[in-house]
Amino acid sequence: MTPLLSSDLAAELLARGHAVRLRALGGSMRPWMRPGVVVTLVPVADRAGLRIGEVVLAICDGRPTLHRIVRVMPDLRLKGDALGYLDPPPQAVLGRVDDSGGLRDQLIARLSRTLCPVQRVLTLLICAFRSRRPRGHSA
Protein backbone atom coordinates (compact mmCIF):
# COMPACT_ATOMS: atom_id res chain seq x y z
CA MET A 1 0.00 0.00 0.00
CA THR A 2 1.35 3.41 -0.94
CA PRO A 3 1.33 6.48 1.32
CA LEU A 4 -0.93 9.42 0.41
CA LEU A 5 -0.17 10.66 -3.11
CA SER A 6 -0.88 13.47 -5.52
CA SER A 7 -3.41 12.69 -8.26
CA ASP A 8 -0.70 12.76 -10.97
CA LEU A 9 1.45 10.19 -9.20
CA ALA A 10 -1.64 8.16 -8.32
CA ALA A 11 -2.65 8.06 -11.99
CA GLU A 12 0.79 6.75 -12.94
CA LEU A 13 0.76 4.04 -10.25
CA LEU A 14 -2.81 2.98 -11.06
CA ALA A 15 -1.84 2.67 -14.73
CA ARG A 16 0.94 0.30 -13.63
CA GLY A 17 -1.53 -1.84 -11.66
CA HIS A 18 -0.86 -0.60 -8.10
CA ALA A 19 -3.48 0.34 -5.48
CA VAL A 20 -3.05 3.86 -4.10
CA ARG A 21 -4.44 6.05 -1.33
CA LEU A 22 -5.61 9.62 -1.95
CA ARG A 23 -7.07 12.33 0.23
CA ALA A 24 -10.38 13.48 -1.24
CA LEU A 25 -10.70 17.25 -1.60
CA GLY A 26 -13.84 19.35 -1.93
CA GLY A 27 -17.40 18.67 -0.85
CA SER A 28 -18.93 17.34 -4.07
CA MET A 29 -19.30 13.82 -2.65
CA ARG A 30 -21.00 14.76 0.63
CA PRO A 31 -22.46 13.13 2.66
CA TRP A 32 -20.81 9.83 1.65
CA MET A 33 -17.31 11.26 1.43
CA ARG A 34 -16.26 14.19 3.60
CA PRO A 35 -13.48 16.55 2.51
CA GLY A 36 -10.15 15.21 3.74
CA VAL A 37 -11.19 11.55 3.92
CA VAL A 38 -8.59 9.08 2.66
CA VAL A 39 -9.75 6.58 0.02
CA THR A 40 -8.04 3.53 -1.42
CA LEU A 41 -8.19 3.29 -5.20
CA VAL A 42 -7.62 0.11 -7.19
CA PRO A 43 -6.82 -0.01 -10.91
CA VAL A 44 -9.60 -0.32 -13.48
CA ALA A 45 -8.57 -2.89 -16.06
CA ASP A 46 -11.67 -2.61 -18.23
CA ARG A 47 -14.51 -0.07 -18.34
CA ALA A 48 -16.92 -2.92 -19.08
CA GLY A 49 -16.65 -4.03 -15.45
CA LEU A 50 -17.72 -0.66 -14.02
CA ARG A 51 -21.14 -0.45 -12.37
CA ILE A 52 -23.58 2.30 -11.49
CA GLY A 53 -22.96 3.41 -7.91
CA GLU A 54 -19.19 2.86 -7.90
CA VAL A 55 -16.95 5.84 -7.15
CA VAL A 56 -14.08 6.28 -9.59
CA LEU A 57 -11.11 8.54 -10.17
CA ALA A 58 -11.47 9.81 -13.72
CA ILE A 59 -10.15 12.59 -15.91
CA CYS A 60 -12.99 14.97 -16.83
CA ASP A 61 -12.15 18.12 -18.79
CA GLY A 62 -8.47 17.43 -18.13
CA ARG A 63 -8.86 17.37 -14.32
CA PRO A 64 -8.88 14.45 -11.89
CA THR A 65 -12.40 13.89 -10.55
CA LEU A 66 -13.50 11.49 -7.81
CA HIS A 67 -17.23 11.01 -8.45
CA ARG A 68 -19.91 8.32 -8.59
CA ILE A 69 -20.94 6.48 -11.76
CA VAL A 70 -24.58 7.30 -12.55
CA ARG A 71 -24.74 5.90 -16.09
CA VAL A 72 -22.72 3.33 -18.02
CA MET A 73 -24.66 3.03 -21.30
CA PRO A 74 -24.54 4.44 -23.92
CA ASP A 75 -21.64 6.40 -22.43
CA LEU A 76 -20.12 6.56 -18.97
CA ARG A 77 -21.30 9.53 -16.88
CA LEU A 78 -20.26 10.63 -13.40
CA LYS A 79 -21.79 12.93 -10.81
CA GLY A 80 -20.82 14.20 -7.39
CA ASP A 81 -23.39 13.11 -4.79
CA ALA A 82 -23.90 16.70 -3.62
CA LEU A 83 -24.10 18.18 -7.13
CA GLY A 84 -27.17 18.72 -9.27
CA TYR A 85 -25.51 18.11 -12.63
CA LEU A 86 -23.51 15.46 -14.48
CA ASP A 87 -19.79 15.76 -15.12
CA PRO A 88 -18.58 15.96 -18.72
CA PRO A 89 -17.91 12.48 -20.15
CA PRO A 90 -14.59 11.24 -18.73
CA GLN A 91 -11.60 10.96 -21.05
CA ALA A 92 -10.14 8.20 -18.86
CA VAL A 93 -11.04 6.18 -15.78
CA LEU A 94 -7.94 5.64 -13.68
CA GLY A 95 -9.21 3.69 -10.68
CA ARG A 96 -12.21 2.92 -8.50
CA VAL A 97 -12.67 3.31 -4.77
CA ASP A 98 -12.09 -0.03 -3.06
CA ASP A 99 -15.13 -0.43 -0.84
CA SER A 100 -14.57 -4.11 -0.13
CA GLY A 101 -13.28 -3.37 3.36
CA GLY A 102 -16.24 -1.63 4.96
CA LEU A 103 -19.82 -2.79 5.40
CA ARG A 104 -20.99 0.85 5.62
CA ASP A 105 -19.43 1.67 2.25
CA GLN A 106 -20.88 -1.47 0.66
CA LEU A 107 -24.36 -0.57 1.89
CA ILE A 108 -24.06 3.01 0.65
CA ALA A 109 -22.81 1.85 -2.76
CA ARG A 110 -25.68 -0.63 -3.05
CA LEU A 111 -28.19 2.03 -1.99
CA SER A 112 -26.73 4.48 -4.52
CA ARG A 113 -27.06 1.93 -7.34
CA THR A 114 -30.71 1.47 -6.37
CA LEU A 115 -31.55 5.15 -5.94
CA CYS A 116 -29.86 6.58 -9.06
CA PRO A 117 -32.71 5.49 -11.38
CA VAL A 118 -35.31 6.68 -8.84
CA GLN A 119 -33.60 10.08 -8.63
CA ARG A 120 -33.73 10.43 -12.43
CA VAL A 121 -37.46 9.64 -12.52
CA LEU A 122 -38.21 12.09 -9.70
CA THR A 123 -36.18 14.81 -11.44
CA LEU A 124 -38.13 14.28 -14.68
CA LEU A 125 -41.45 14.42 -12.80
CA ILE A 126 -40.49 17.63 -11.01
CA CYS A 127 -39.38 19.23 -14.29
CA ALA A 128 -42.64 18.18 -15.97
CA PHE A 129 -44.68 19.55 -13.06
CA ARG A 130 -42.82 22.86 -13.08
CA SER A 131 -43.25 23.27 -16.83
CA ARG A 132 -47.04 22.92 -16.49
CA ARG A 133 -47.43 25.74 -13.95
CA PRO A 134 -48.78 28.96 -15.46
CA ARG A 135 -46.23 31.74 -15.80
CA GLY A 136 -46.37 34.32 -13.04
CA HIS A 137 -47.76 31.78 -10.59
CA SER A 138 -45.80 31.71 -7.35
CA ALA A 139 -45.60 28.66 -5.14
Predicted pLDDT at 2: 42
Indicate whether 90 belongs to any domain.
yes
Indicate whether 139 belongs to any domain.
no
Phi, psi torsion values for 94, nearest 5 degrees: -90, -40
Single pTM value for the model? 0.68
Predicted pLDDT at 43: 93
Q: Would the pLDDT of 138 be above 70?
A: no
Domain range for residue 58?
A: 7-132
Q: At 68, which CATH number?
A: 2.10.109.10
Indicate whether 50 belongs to any domain.
yes
How many separate domains does the chain show? 1
Distance CA 44, CA 23 (A): 19
Distance CA 73, CA 69 (A): 11
Indicate whether 72 belongs to any domain.
yes
At residue 129 the predicted structure's pLDDT band, cuts being 50, 70 and 90, is confident
CA nearest neighbour of 59 among 116, 7, 119, 3: 7
